[in-house]
Amino acid sequence: ASRIANLAVTSYRNSRRGGRDLGTIYREMDQVVADAFGEGTFVTGHLAELDTESGLLTVLNAGHPRPLLIRDGSMHILEFEPAAPVGLGFVDAEATQLRLEPGDAVVILSDGVIEARAAGGDIFGVERVGDLAVRALAAGETIPETVRRLIHSVIDHRGIALEDDATLLLCCWHRR
């Protein structure tokens, strides 16, 4: 798994440094992973760019849950259509764009966050992530503290070691 992820990240960096758009980066990553590891091997991820001047967020979701938008004290699931994971062979995909408003926060996460199961079978879920993020940000928590609390909530909910990766990124945009 680490070799596949390393190859995907290296391909991403090479394409990004070449000035390619997210769709091209995705296709190049897909081809590199498919060529190196063959059929059935893949890696998931989010490719994203944020124009910090205008607030324009561009996302290409490769096999993860949809990102969450925290705006005006409520959570919205962003309708970014997921593409296939990277490495399944040439698959066309389009990036989606959203113009953020000052104070908006975006939560990008892996399925390991929302699918973490408690001993009784209850999953952590998207609504719980959104609710915790909304409350923490409304209370004035810093971004690092909000992420720390979210991850600890997932771990506490699970009660034992996580079965899957639990990756979470929170970014907030403020006009300069």
What are the tens digits of pLDDT across the range 160-169? 888 888 899 9
Return the structure tokens found at 70: 């925290």
Asked if 161 and 104 count as a contact pair (C-beta separation under 8 A), the reply is no
What are the tens digits of pLDDT across the range 55-96? 999 999 998 999 999 999 999 999 878 889 999 876 778 899
What are the tens digits of pLDDT across the range 97-125? 999 999 999 999 999 999 999 989 999 99
Q: Which amino acid is at 115?
A: E
- What is the widest separation between alpha-carbon atoms in the chain? 49
Distance CA 94, CA 134 (A): 29
pTM: 0.89
153 contact partners, CB below 8 Å, separation of at least 6: 124, 128, 132
Partners of residue 96 on adjacent β-strands: 59
3-state SS class at 48: strand
